[in-house]
């Protein structure tokens, strides 16, 4: 077996490394000096110093014939320190430079005049052209308030609260818009406009004139009249459509009001005479008579005593309008006499009142009206005396 060498100690190894580093440093220094000498930098430096001293050469000692070895120039640091630097272990990092102190410089404010100096000198306001005494910050009371007002406005603008939205722009044009000239209705498009308005009628031709006055204008300062509208309708052959629409409206209103002419005229915004004229113009006399006869027949033949009595006591004008008030009264008297005959004779007035109210579903007020209109008290008294 081959024998292995024992490892050297740490101290011996460190000593060898130091000696190697010193030799390496010396060789590096010699190489640097040799390069400087060969380049002639030292001769140029010497010639420059001789020129500075005036070219005078001081006497020197006799040089030996043998060539002297050039001396090494100073490197600034000794070789021992260079070796110690090279021996420094690589694990240690070099010291970091201290951070530079930063001084915050505030922007200088340039005043037109120094408020403190002006206040100390004269005690007047620093605002140019103001001779009032200074109160605060080198300003008088008025200028100080103005300064504070501007500062408050700046603070308000810098707030994070969003500003409210701007108000909507006002309408410049009138709400109704501009009205067109009525002569446009005589054109081809005017026929469609008139036909549409006729179809939308609710009360009659007066409603048509009112709507046209809102959209069109006639002569300056003169509103449209019924004759102007009828003339335009006749031009487009729409008079028959207007009459047909009015017939439908009048018949529907008459049925809705139960055949009453007075209520129909009131709903149509007309008087009774105007309704009669319109009925004759449209040829609705027979239709009106037929509708009214239907309601008359329904009241006289298909209604019982309670319904007739309710109409007679609460809707006297309605029965008079239909012209059947007397017939209804006679029918009610006959049925009341028959009802009184079924009641037990010899009863008191209180019993009679209770019986009639229960039989006809009447309250006290309607019972009094019944007695006052049909003379029920006299009938009951005669029935009591006869018993």
Report, as an integer, the average pLDDT of 35-41: 72
Residue 337 half-sphere exposure toward CB, CA atoms < 13 A: 10
Q: Please tell me the predicted confidence (pLDDT) of residue 51.
A: 54
Report, as an integer, the average pLDDT of 75-86: 53
Higher pLDDT residue, 56 or 233?
233
User: CA angle, 308 as apex, 304 and 313 as ends, to 5°?
Assistant: 150
Stretch among 99-108, 125-134, 146-155 having the lowest mean pLDDT: 99-108
Q: Where are the alpha helices (DSSP H) in the chain?
A: 10-39, 41-52, 79-87, 115-121, 141-157, 188-199, 205-215, 226-235, 239-256, 261-267, 272-282, 285-301, 305-314, 316-322, 325-342, 349-360, 364-374, 376-386
**Residue 41 pLDDT more than 60?**
yes
The reported pTM is: 0.48
* pLDDT tens per residue across span 3-27: 444 555 677 888 888 888 888 888 8
**Residue 87 pLDDT more than 60?**
no
Q: What is the mean pLDDT of the chain?
A: 75
* pLDDT tens per residue across span 184-235: 888 888 899 999 999 998 888 888 998 888 888 877 767 888 898 999 999 9
Stretch among 31-45, 166-180, 195-209, 318-332 having the lowest mean pLDDT: 166-180
**Residue 74 pLDDT more than 90?**
no
Q: Please tell me the predicted confidence (pLDDT) of residue 245.
A: 93
């Amino acid at each position: 077996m081959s024998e292995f060498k024992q490892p050297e100690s740490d101290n011996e190894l460190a000593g060898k490394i130091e000696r190697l580093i010193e030799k390496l440093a010396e060789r590096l220094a010699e190489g640097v000096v040799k390069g400087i000498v060969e380049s002639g930098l030292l001769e140029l430096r010497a010639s420059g110093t001789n020129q500075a001293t005036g070219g005078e050469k001081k006497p020197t000692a006799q040089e030996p014939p043998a060539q002297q070895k050039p001396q090494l120039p100073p490197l600034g640091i000794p070789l021992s320190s260079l070796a110690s630097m090279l021996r420094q272990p690589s694990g240690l990092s070099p010291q970091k430079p201290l951070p530079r102190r930063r001084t915050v410089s505030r922007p200088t404010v340039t005043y037109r005049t120094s408020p403190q100096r002006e206040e100390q000198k004269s005690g007047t306001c620093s605002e140019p052209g103001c001779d009032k005494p200074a109160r605060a910050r080198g300003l008088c009371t008025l200028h100080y308030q103005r300064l504070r007002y501007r500062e408050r406005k700046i603070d308000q603008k810098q707030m994070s609260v969003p500003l409210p939205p701007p108000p909507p722009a006002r309408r410049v044009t009138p709400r109704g818009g501009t009205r067109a000239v009525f002569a446009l209705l005589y054109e081809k498009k005017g026929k469609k406009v008139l036909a549409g308005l006729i179809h939308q009628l609710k009360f009659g031709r007066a409603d048509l004139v009112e709507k046209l006055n809102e959209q069109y204008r006639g002569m300056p300062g003169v509103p449209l009249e019924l004759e102007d509208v009828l003339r335009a309708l006749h031009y487009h052959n729409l008079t028959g459509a207007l009459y047909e629409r009015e017939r439908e409206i009048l018949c529907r209103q008459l049925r809705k009001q139960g055949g009453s002419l007075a209520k129909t005229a009131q709903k149509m915004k007309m008087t009774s005479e105007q309704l009669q004229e319109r009925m004759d113009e449209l040829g609705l006399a027979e239709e009106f008579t037929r509708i009214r006869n239907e309601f008359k027949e329904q009241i006289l033949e298909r209604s019982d005593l309670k319904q007739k009595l309710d109409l007679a006591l609460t809707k006297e004008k309605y029965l008079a309008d239909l012209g059947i008030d007397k017939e209804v009264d006679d029918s009610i008297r006959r049925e009341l006499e028959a009802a009184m005959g079924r009641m037990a004779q010899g009863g008191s007035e209180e019993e009679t009142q209770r019986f009639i109210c229960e039989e006809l579903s009447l309250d006290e007020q309607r019972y009094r009206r019944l007695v006052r209109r049909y003379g029920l008290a006299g009938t009951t008294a005669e029935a009591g005396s006869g018993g």
